[in-house]
Amino acid sequence: MILLLNKTTEHYPHDSILSAAEFTKMLLSISLLPVDENGRQEAMRLLAENVLRLRGNELGDILPTVVTNFLALSGEELRLLLERLPQLATDELLSLLGERRE
């Protein structure tokens, strides 16, 4: 989560980093969730949405589908995607996560 606040990172443009207020709001939202499986899943969804929103509005209306597909990845797939995420162009990200998976 440090990357979300680190304004010196070279991977994300300066204006797409979460502000301290946005980061605090996200943490507060997570802290209010129940401590059960549903709360854990919602916390993961909030984190995924915030990570993907670092890209700005380029995902638009497809963000919910991208988040759902992002959360469906295995641990290893997620690790590999997160390592590549800063370098992925929008069309590459959409080709990986943008289509609805049944």
List pLDDT tens digits, range 46-92.
Answer: 888 887 777 767 777 888 888 888 888 888 888 888 888 888 888 88
Residue 10: burial class (beta carbons within 10 Å; 0-12, 13-18, 19+): exposed
Contact of 17 with 56, CB cutoff 8 Å: no
> What is d(CA 71, CA 45) in angstroms, rounded to the nearest whole number?
7
pTM above 0.75, yes or no: no
List, in sequence order, every beta strand (DSSP E) within 1-102: none
pLDDT in tens, 15-29: 456 678 877 888 888
